Amino acid sequence: MTSSLIDLEALKSMYGEDSVRELVEMSMGEAGKLVESLSENIPRKDIDGVTRDAHQLKGMASTMTLTKIFELSRDLEKAARVYDWDETMSLLQGIKGCLVELEEYLRPVLSDPQ
């Protein structure tokens, strides 16, 4: 499943190998903030906050080749627009699971260079 989470070779090709570590760290931090905000906004049924956060997460995921997170964010944004709060919560759980798996996979990339 990891290959559907991120395409490191594409990132290296687009941004250069030296930049990938920093970009991944920044993106993971941003994703964490957006997921935290979604975790607060979904239970409150804050349609504006949820669609904004899902849209930002979707864009970041697209830029960073995070295919599965892109798909889940896109679907979460759509579900929120039709007020399907059960589905939005389910999709958020999927995003959280992807982030956990992604962090584990990226640990060697994020570790300090030797």
Task: Using only the alpha carbons of the chain, give its radius of gyration.
Answer: 14
* Structure confidence at residue 21 as a pLDDT band (50, 70, 90): confident
- pLDDT tops 80 at residue 2: no
pLDDT the model gives residue 1: 40
pLDDT the model gives residue 52: 98
Q: List domains and CATH numbers for the chain.
A: 2-106 (1.20.120.160)
Residue pLDDT, tens place only, 35-94: 999 999 999 999 999 999 999 999 999 999 999 999 999 999 999 999 999 999 999 999
- Given a contact cutoff of 8 angstroms between Cβ atoms, the answer to whether 66 and 102 are in contact is yes
Nearest to 32 by CA among 111, 100, 107: 100
Burial of 16 (0-12, 13-18, 19+ CB in 10 A): exposed
Residue pLDDT, tens place only, 54-68: 999 999 999 999 999
* Structure confidence at residue 18 as a pLDDT band (50, 70, 90): confident
* Structure confidence at residue 5 as a pLDDT band (50, 70, 90): confident
